[in-house]
Amino acid sequence: MADSSAMRPAAATPVALACLLGWGAGCRDDAPNQSLSRTEAAPQASVKAAPRPLFRPAGIGKATAALESRIDASAEVLSIEIFPDRLLIQVGSGGDEVVAYEWTTEQLRGPLPVELRGSGTLANNLFPFSSVDLSSVPELVRIARARIDSEHGEVTRILVRRNLPVDDHVVMRAYVKSPIKSGQVDADASGRPTDSGR
């Protein structure tokens, strides 16, 4: 971790991460001591046709209720990643410590240890859990598909984090994969799109 006394310039460098929990593209769920990283790259895994429970109101509702039973609304969060069937959240646990929780198949695992690496100050990357409206995920999925490729596009992941180094706003970025045109749509923490897609 960078020196805690380091001052953040006008645009901070996001904290690079690695974790002992396996998540993201290319990780196997059954392997121990897998790596975890926070990246901007859209996952390379193939898109599943069905089911996509976390992109539906009932599914994201269950996941949110499970998280709220373990994480205080005032908790500081580093990132949230929502896949069609899995949600991963990294939560500050005091000082320069972060733990992860994973919701998958109706089950919440965690806290799990996270190892932080790279430059940047953790505190500058954190945002309140209560600032994100996860119930907006299904509508953001619908909008992202419509804006990128309504016929063939599938949302593969939604990433929630601060928009560093551009600004300090919390953004939700929906990644859309399509054989015709892939892209992404950004939204604010309430799920309202802030761009037309790219």
Higher pLDDT, 65 or 9: 65
pLDDT at 123 over 70: yes
With cut-offs at 50, 70 and 90, classify the pLDDT of residue 50: low
Mean pLDDT of the chain: 79
Nearest to 45 by CA among 175, 133, 159: 175
pLDDT of residue 196: 72
Assess whether pLDDT exceeds 70 at residue 27: no
Q: Which long-range contacts (CB under 8 A, 24 or more apart) does 64-68 make?
A: 64/134, 64/135, 66/103, 66/108, 67/101, 67/103, 67/108, 67/129
Report the C-alpha dihedral over residues 128, 133, 138, 143, rounded to 10 degrees.
-90
119 vs 75: which has the higher pLDDT: 75
Mean pLDDT of 133-146: 96
Asked whether the beta carbons of 25 and 43 are under 8 A apart, the reply is yes
H/E stretch holding 174 reads strand 170-177
Check residue 110 and report its DSSP letter.
E
The structure tokens listed for 129 are 């859990």
pLDDT level of residue 10 (50, 70, 90 thresholds)? very low
Residue at token pair 């929780």? 101
Q: What is the pTM of this model?
A: 0.75
Segment 181-197 mean pLDDT? 91
Q: Of residues 77 and 120, which shows the higher confidence score?
A: 77
Query: How wide is the angle at C-alpha 144 spanned by C-alphas 82 and 172, nearest 5°?
Result: 45
d(CA 42, CA 75): 27
